[in-house]
Chain A
């Protein structure tokens, strides 16, 4: 009798081991994010940032590649990265990029994201795209979006983390201008790209 009951159970009722867990409620995730940001202010006196580390890594990459192409002992001091007034601020003899607060923050974000993704069954190679677009278009727009974002972030001296989130919470005037401009720019362009996502 009990065997028959088991056999009648529909296949869908069997729990799927691979099904990812649902995301957290947005307000709960936001509250955790806010507490992490508050901890940053109270413990270190700084907020969070993501693009700053990438700028430092890019500037040091430029320096290393240029120095090795030039070769020789004096080459380290003749590089473009030292002559360029923007990158020069990140390349000085006293500083190691691995001593940088933002670079360690960057490593932490990768670790924290990975741990959460694995624990929730959401980690794995996958290309995310809208239902009516091709993977080629998605790759093109993802790369282009990254390129354009970098220019915007460098002009504004920060991205969604360093300006909108951290600057927003400290009530910095320029950060609120940045945040409103991001939403304005995004909504102005969204209509024209709707077929990529809807």
Chain B
């Protein structure tokens, strides 16, 4: 039996159906972020100062749920993984971009998605963050002629961790689950030690 998913690719969805689905997915995304407390910079800043580990717990729970679901459905032949968009790898731009993004995160205490949710619920500092993000995007456009060489460097195409580590996908999935569980346990130990009990 041929895989039936991703539905939009297998069945060739048109633009209106995809746009409606994107709106629905976005709403679920925004709803979950707000319920997690990510519409407030105080929750996010807690990750960097050890007072609230919601960022790590929410993010790794989401990664584990989606990863186990996706690779299980792929293994069962329901989802054709080759039709799922998977980010390509550019080692150096992603390493340096990640460091710069981490600086921006700690300085502003939002990231783009959380700032949208915070801005939508009236947080003025998040609106300022989004204004800065637009200006930064323009700055990147104007700087692009100088950054282009670096931006396209160390291109590796579609590389998954199982390929890079030369182990079966199931082993990496299992490993990520174990690391996430270990990280969760560590955050609870730190909470008890420093007296921040809230999850």
**Given A47-B85, A110-B30, A183-B102: A150 in contact with B108 (beta carbons within 8 A):** no
> Across the interface, which residues of A come within 8 angstroms of B1, CB to CB?
none
> Across the interface, which residues of A come within 8 angstroms of B99, CB to CB?
152, 181-182, 184-185, 188
- Which B113-160 residues have C-beta < 8 A from chain A? 113-126, 128-145, 147-148, 150-151, 156, 158-160
- Other than the known A43-B25, A86-B140, A160-B101, what 11 A-B pairs have Cβ atoms closer than 8 Å? A33-B58, A36-B29, A41-B66, A85-B145, A104-B20, A114-B121, A117-B120, A145-B132, A155-B100, A155-B151, A172-B159
**Given A44-B8, A116-B31: A185 in contact with B102 (beta carbons within 8 A):** yes
- For B40, the closest partner residue in chain A by CB is A128
C-alpha gap A127/B99 in the complex (Å) = 27
> Across the interface, which residues of A come within 8 angstroms of B35, CB to CB?
23-24, 29, 32, 116, 120
> Shortest Cβ distance from A27 into chain B, in angstroms?
5
- For B124, the closest partner residue in chain A by CB is A127
- Which A136-185 residues have C-beta < 8 A from chain B? 138-139, 141-185
- Which A96-150 residues have C-beta < 8 A from chain B? 99, 101-102, 104-118, 120, 122-130, 138-139, 141-150
**Residues A154 and B137 in contact, CB atoms below 8 Å apart:** yes
> Shortest Cβ distance from A92 into chain B, in angstroms?
15
**Residues A114 and B120 in contact, CB atoms below 8 Å apart:** yes
**Residues B129 and A29 in contact, CB atoms below 8 Å apart:** no
Count A interface residues, CB 8 Å.
123
**Residues B59 and A171 in contact, CB atoms below 8 Å apart:** no
Q: Which of B8, B97, B129 lies in contact with A45, CB distance below 8 A?
A: B8
Q: Which of A34, A176, A180, A190 lies in contact with B61, CB distance below 8 A?
A: A34
B67-96 vs A: 1/0 string, CB under 8 Å? 101110100001100011111111101111
**Residues A27 and B61 in contact, CB atoms below 8 Å apart:** yes
> Shortest Cβ distance from A126 into chain B, in angstroms?
6
What DSSP secondary structure best describes chain A's contact surface? Answer: helix
C-alpha gap A104/B103 in the complex (Å) = 28
- For B16, the closest partner residue in chain A by CB is A99
**Residues A142 and B125 in contact, CB atoms below 8 Å apart:** yes
> Shortest Cβ distance from A97 into chain B, in angstroms?
12
> Across the interface, which residues of B come within 8 angstroms of A180, CB to CB?
98
**Given A48-B25, A171-B161: A129 in contact with B122 (beta carbons within 8 A):** no
**What are 29 pairs between A and B in contact, CB < 8 Å?**
A33-B62, A38-B65, A43-B6, A43-B25, A45-B85, A84-B145, A86-B148, A101-B18, A104-B26, A112-B27, A115-B31, A116-B117, A117-B120, A124-B121, A128-B118, A143-B108, A143-B135, A145-B108, A146-B133, A146-B136, A150-B137, A170-B160, A171-B176, A173-B164, A175-B87, A178-B101, A184-B99, A187-B48, A188-B103
**Given A30-B36, A145-B109: A174 in contact with B31 (beta carbons within 8 A):** no
- Which A34-87 residues have C-beta < 8 A from chain B? 34-48, 50-51, 54-55, 57-59, 61-62, 81, 84-87
Is B5 in contact with chain A by the CB < 8 A criterion?
A: yes
Is A189 in contact with chain B by the CB < 8 A criterion?
A: yes
**Residues A157 and B102 in contact, CB atoms below 8 Å apart:** no
- For B113, the closest partner residue in chain A by CB is A50
**Residues B101 and A45 in contact, CB atoms below 8 Å apart:** no
C-alpha gap A35/B19 in the complex (Å) = 19
Q: Which of B25, B40, B164 lies in contact with A40, CB distance below 8 A?
A: B25
> Shortest Cβ distance from A187 into chain B, in angstroms?
7
